[in-house]
Structure 1
């Protein structure tokens, strides 16, 4: 069963395309037009072992339009690639240390979009990345993937380390949650459906 999809979204503000293979090797070709976010998406793909191609351009007003729309399209891509969700592990928790920082990511592929956000950053920018966009990206992804996601920065000083830890942990947690478990027969829900 192929779990590979290509999706795109074009608006007056953005042009975003994503190709995602859930069962890849971590290859990434990323161009979000935000260099720091390119780095984060490359780490996400590598640690999740997802093959990921992203081409995203915004209107140049700020990074909000392109990163929010990327969250929308990437969330939709995960939802579509998962199909009927037969045999997936569904749940995952990852603690990810990055030097002095520690992040925790919890995921439930539940069909119910809900984000719990407990991340405090102390800088307005990391390179060309507006740090308030971190939460906006995750809101868009969560809403359009239909997942429950908890993101917490448990401690840390360096904002780059905190954000990097979040994306590495996010990749690892998603990889675990989307993995096919041979001991799970059918859809991992007593309802018999995840939607």
Structure 2
């Protein structure tokens, strides 16, 4: 049961797998204290706050469009800037994703989604290969959206790719409004993750000739 104030997404899948795929991860440093709980086969709910209003909106979209339940508690040195908070959050979220996926048996492994948002269109492609890599081609013409520092989008996605052990390609094909572009990135990421983590293959093996991901 999610606390009062959670944000359910009516479009999220209610399909449940026999095994519960979830994880809770904490990280404490001199700069941040972060706790994340993630359930892969959820209802698309988001609970918590980073202290960065625009980014909370993006995380809500990510949860909704991935169908995952995401709960977090974040305290960061926002009096400095948003860098430590968002980078450390991506580390913890990536670690939670890796733990929740376990041995990755039966997952699709790959996901791809083209996400339009008004005049913007972004393509997100994922391979949960175990080999981290980020290809990032997004240009944002403003330095901030609210209190969110737009240069942190690349750093967040890089840390997520490394700790989520994924090959992640994010390309904004076109768009002029920075809010729309970033929103299309997070919605596209959510849908690509939904595809990649779905169990549709042989539940006794991984989709790799190596036998391991």
- Bin for the TM-score computed over the shorter chain: over 0.9
Q: How many residues align?
A: 194
* Residue 30 of structure 1, CA deviation: 2.7
1:6 aligned residue? 24
CA contact (8 A) 1:89 1:184 kept: no
Equivalent residue for 1:155, pick from 174, 177, 201 = 174
Aligned structure 1 segments of 4 or more residues deviating by more than 6 angstroms: none
Contact 1:30/1:42 (8 A) holds in 2: no
Structure 2 match to 1:55 = 73
Find out whether 1:20 has 2:26 as its counterpart. Answer: no
| Map of 1:123 onto structure 2 | 142
Specify the SS of the correspondent of 1:31: coil
2:33 touches 2:76 (CA, 8 Å); kept in 1? yes
1:188 is aligned to 2:207 = yes
TM-score by length of 2: 0.89
The CA distance in 2 between the partners of 1:113 and 1:192, in whole Å, is 18
Query: Structure 1 length as normaliser, TM-score?
Result: 0.97
Q: Which has the higher contact order (CA 8 A, sep 6+)?
A: 1
Q: Would the aligned equivalents of 1:126 and 1:159 in 2 still touch at CA under 8 Å?
A: yes
Match of 2:12 in 1: none
Q: Does 1:42 pair with 2:60?
A: yes
Match of 1:33 among 51, 57, 76: 51
Determine the C-alpha separation between the residues in 2 that align with 1:17 and 1:33.
Answer: 14
The offset of 1:183, in angstroms, is 5.0
Greater shift after overlay, 181-190 or 136-145?
A: 181-190
Partner deviation per Cα, 1:156-178 (whole Å, 9 max, x = no partner): 01000000000000011001000
Contact 2:111 2:196 in 1 (8 A): yes
Task: Give 5+ residue unaligned stretches, structure 2.
Answer: 1-18
